[in-house]
Amino acid sequence: MVGNVLVGQSGGPTAVINSSLAGVYKTAKAQGAEKVFGMLYGIQGLLEEKYVDLDEHFHNDLEIELLKRTPSSYLGSCRYKLPDYEADTAIYDTIFQILKKLDIGYFFYIGGNDSMDTIKKLSDYAETIQSNIRFIGVPKTIDNDLEATDHTPGYGSAAKFIAATTREIIRDSLVYDQKSVTIIEIMGRNVGWLTGASALAGSTECAGPDFLYLPELDFCLEEFIKKIEQLQKTKKALVIAVSEGIRLADGRYVCELTEDVKYTDQFGHALLSGSGKYLSNLVSRELGCKSRGIELNTLQRCASHMASLIDITEAFQVGEAAVNAAVEGKTGEMVIITRVSNRPYQCTTGTYDIHKIANIEKKVPLTWIKEDNTGIAEEFMEYVRPLIQDELTPIMIGGLPKHINYSIF
Amino acid sequence: MVGNVLVGQSGGPTAVINSSLAGVYKTAKAQGAEKVFGMLYGIQGLLEEKYVDLDEHFHNDLEIELLKRTPSSYLGSCRYKLPDYEADTAIYDTIFQILKKLDIGYFFYIGGNDSMDTIKKLSDYAETIQSNIRFIGVPKTIDNDLEATDHTPGYGSAAKFIAATTREIIRDSLVYDQKSVTIIEIMGRNVGWLTGASALAGSTECAGPDFLYLPELDFCLEEFIKKIEQLQKTKKALVIAVSEGIRLADGRYVCELTEDVKYTDQFGHALLSGSGKYLSNLVSRELGCKSRGIELNTLQRCASHMASLIDITEAFQVGEAAVNAAVEGKTGEMVIITRVSNRPYQCTTGTYDIHKIANIEKKVPLTWIKEDNTGIAEEFMEYVRPLIQDELTPIMIGGLPKHINYSIF
Q: What is A1-42 written as a DSSP string? A: --SEEEEEE-SS--SSHHHHHHHHHHHHHHTT-S-EEEETTH
The H or E element that residue B397 is part of is strand B396-397
Residue A265 has pLDDT above 70, yes or no: no
CB contact (8 A) between residue B399 and residue A390: yes
Q: Name residue B211's beta-bridge partners.
A: B240
Give the model confidence (pLDDT) of B57-83 as tens digits. Answer: 999 999 999 999 999 999 999 999 999
CB contact (8 A) between residue B398 and residue A385: yes
Q: What pLDDT does residue A1 have?
A: 87
Report how far apart, in Å, the C-alpha atoms of B252 and of each of A260, B192, B255, B380 are: 20, 17, 8, 27
Nearest CA in chain A to B301: A172
Give the model's confidence band at A408: pLDDT under 50 very low, under 70 low, under 90 confident, else very high: confident
Q: What pLDDT does residue B408 have?
A: 73
Which of A66, A115, A177 best tests the B interface by mutation, with the highest count of B CBs <10 A? Answer: A177
Q: What pLDDT does residue B261 have?
A: 45
| Omega of the bond leading into A365 within 30 degrees of 0 (cis) | no
Report how far apart, in Å, the C-alpha atoms of B169 and of each of A63, B162, B283, B370 are: 21, 10, 18, 23
B165 neighbourhood in chain A, CB within 8 Å: 299, 303
Dihedral angle sign, alpha carbons of residues A47, A48, A50, A51: positive
**Cα gap A245→A263, rounded to integer Å:** 15
**Pairing relation of β-strands A36-39 and A51-53?**
antiparallel
Name the residue among A76, A259, A308 with its Cβ closest to that of B177: A76
Check: CB of residue B173 under 8 Å from CB of residue B239.
Answer: yes
**Cα gap A282→A287, rounded to integer Å:** 8
Give the model confidence (pLDDT) of A120-139 as tens digits. Answer: 999 999 999 999 999 999 99
- The shortest C-alpha distance from B244 to chain A (Å) reads 14
Check: CB of residue B334 under 8 Å from CB of residue B346.
Answer: no
Name the residue among B165, B203, B399 with its Cβ closest to that of A299: B165
A264 neighbourhood in chain B, CB within 8 Å: none
CB contact (8 A) between residue B72 and residue A308: no
Name the residue among B13, B177, B399 with its Cβ closest to that of A308: B399
| Omega of the bond leading into B215 within 30 degrees of 0 (cis) | no
Which of A155, A278, A400 best tests the B interface by mutation, with the highest count of B CBs <10 A? Answer: A400
B385 neighbourhood in chain A, CB within 8 Å: 398-399
- The shortest C-alpha distance from A158 to chain B (Å) reads 12
SS3 B84: coil
Identity of residue B383:
Y
CB contact (8 A) between residue B40 and residue A284: no
- The shortest C-alpha distance from B3 to chain A (Å) reads 28
Q: What pLDDT does residue B269 have?
A: 55
- The shortest C-alpha distance from A171 to chain B (Å) reads 6
Give the model's confidence band at A258: pLDDT under 50 very low, under 70 low, under 90 confident, else very high: confident
B203 neighbourhood in chain A, CB within 8 Å: 397-398, 400, 402
- The shortest C-alpha distance from B128 to chain A (Å) reads 31
CB-count burial class (<10 Å; 0-12, 13-18, 19+) for B380: buried
Name the residue among B41, B295, B390 with its Cβ closest to that of A177: B41
Q: What pLDDT does residue A409 have?
A: 72
Residue partners of B385: CB distance under 8 A and separation at least 6: A398, A399, B200
Instruction: Give pTM, 2 decimals.
Output: 0.96
Q: What pLDDT does residue B268 have?
A: 54
Q: What pLDDT does residue A264 have?
A: 55
Q: What pLDDT does residue B1 have?
A: 87
Dihedral angle sign, alpha carbons of residues B191, B9, B351, B312: negative
The H or E element that residue B15 is part of is none
- The shortest C-alpha distance from B337 to chain A (Å) reads 21
Residues of A labelled catalytic: 143
Residue A229 has pLDDT above 90, yes or no: yes
> What is this model's ipTM?
0.96
Which of B172, B200, B267 best tests the A interface by mutation, with the highest count of A CBs <10 A? Answer: B172
Residue B201 has pLDDT above 60, yes or no: yes
Q: What pLDDT does residue A261 have?
A: 45
Which of A96, A104, A85, A107 is closest to A9 using CA atoms? A107
A65 neighbourhood in chain B, CB within 8 Å: none
Name the residue among A79, A169, A200 with its Cβ closest to that of B298: A169
Residue partners of A92: CB distance under 8 A and separation at least 6: A82, A85, A121, A122, A125
Name the residue among B201, B206, B403 with its Cβ closest to that of A205: B403
Sheet with B211-213, strands from edge to edge, namely B211-213, B237-243, B180-186, B290-295
What's the whole-number mean pLDDT along residues B146-161? 98
Nearest CA in chain A to B409: A174
For residue A106, the tally of other CB atoms under 10 A from its CB is 26
Nearest CA in chain B to A168: B302
Work out how many CB contacts closer than 8 A connect A with B.
Answer: 208
For residue A156, the tally of other CB atoms under 10 A from its CB is 31
Q: What pLDDT does residue B77 have?
A: 97
A312-335 burial: b if 16+ Cβ within 10 Å, else e: bbbbbbbbbbbbbbbbeebbbbbb
Report how far apart, in Å, the C-alpha atoms of A18 and of each of A336, B69, B163, B167, B386 are: 17, 30, 21, 16, 30
Mean pLDDT score across all residues of chain B: 95
CB contact (8 A) between residue B163 and residue A400: yes
Which of B116, B119, B111, B113 is closest to B153 using CA atoms? B111
SS3 B130: coil
CB contact (8 A) between residue B176 and residue A79: yes
Identity of residue A82:
L
CB contact (8 A) between residue B399 and residue A385: yes
Name the residue among B285, B298, B306 with its Cβ closest to that of A261: B285
CB contact (8 A) between residue A261 and residue B271: no
What's the whole-number mean pLDDT along residues B263-277? 66
**Cα gap A334→B281, rounded to integer Å:** 38
Check: CB of residue B140 under 8 Å from CB of residue B174.
Answer: no
CB contact (8 A) between residue B203 and residue A400: yes
Q: CA gyration radius for chain B? A: 22
CB contact (8 A) between residue A285 and residue B261: yes
Residue B247 has pLDDT above 50, yes or no: yes
Q: What pLDDT does residue B232 have?
A: 98
Nearest CA in chain B to A9: B175
Which of B71, B70, B64, B59 is closest to B27 using CA atoms? B64
Residue A365 has pLDDT above 70, yes or no: yes
Give the model confidence (pLDDT) of A276-288 as tens digits. Answer: 999 999 999 999 9
Helices (H), B185-262: 193-197, 221-231
Residue A340 has pLDDT above 80, yes or no: yes
**Cα gap A253→B255, rounded to integer Å:** 24
Report how far apart, in Å, the C-alpha atoms of A230 and of each of A219, A235, A240 are: 17, 9, 14
Give the model's confidence band at B45: pLDDT under 50 very low, under 70 low, under 90 confident, else very high: very high
What's the whole-number mean pLDDT along residues B14-40? 98
Check: CB of residue B271 under 8 Å from CB of residue B12.
Answer: no
Task: Choose, from B88, B93, B103, B143, the residue flagged as catalytic.
Answer: B143
CB contact (8 A) between residue B305 and residue A168: yes
Q: What pLDDT does residue A262 have?
A: 52
SS3 B294: strand
Residue A339 has pLDDT above 70, yes or no: yes
CB contact (8 A) between residue B304 and residue A168: yes
CB contact (8 A) between residue B403 and residue A305: no
B70 neighbourhood in chain A, CB within 8 Å: 171
Residue partners of B363: CB distance under 8 A and separation at least 6: B145, B190, B191, B192, B216
A165 neighbourhood in chain B, CB within 8 Å: 299, 303
Name the residue among A76, A165, A399 with its Cβ closest to that of B299: A165
What's the whole-number mean pLDDT along residues B12-16? 96
Dihedral angle sign, alpha carbons of residues A355, A357, A359, A360: positive
Distinct helix (H) and strand (E) counts, chain A: 12, 13
**Cα gap A41→A50, rounded to integer Å:** 8
What's the whole-number mean pLDDT along residues B357-383? 96
Name the residue among B171, B277, B308 with its Cβ closest to that of A260: B277
Q: Name residue A53's beta-bridge partners.
A: A37
Give the model's confidence band at B328: pLDDT under 50 very low, under 70 low, under 90 confident, else very high: very high
What domains sit in chain B, N to C, each tagged with a CATH number?
4-154+305-360+389-401 (3.40.50.450), 158-302 (3.40.50.460)
CB contact (8 A) between residue B205 and residue A299: no
**Cα gap B209→B212, rounded to integer Å:** 7
Which of A68, A110, A141, A171 best tests the B interface by mutation, with the highest count of B CBs <10 A? Answer: A171
Which of B39, B177, B283, B396 best tests the A interface by mutation, with the highest count of A CBs <10 A? Answer: B177
Q: What is B263-283 written as a DSSP string? A: -B-TTSPBP-TTHHHHHHHHH
B40 neighbourhood in chain A, CB within 8 Å: 177
Give the model confidence (pLDDT) of A39-86 as tens digits. Answer: 999 999 999 999 999 999 999 999 999 999 999 999 999 999 999 998
A206 neighbourhood in chain B, CB within 8 Å: 403, 406
Nearest CA in chain B to A14: B172
CB contact (8 A) between residue A168 and residue B302: yes
What's the whole-number mean pLDDT along residues B90-117? 97
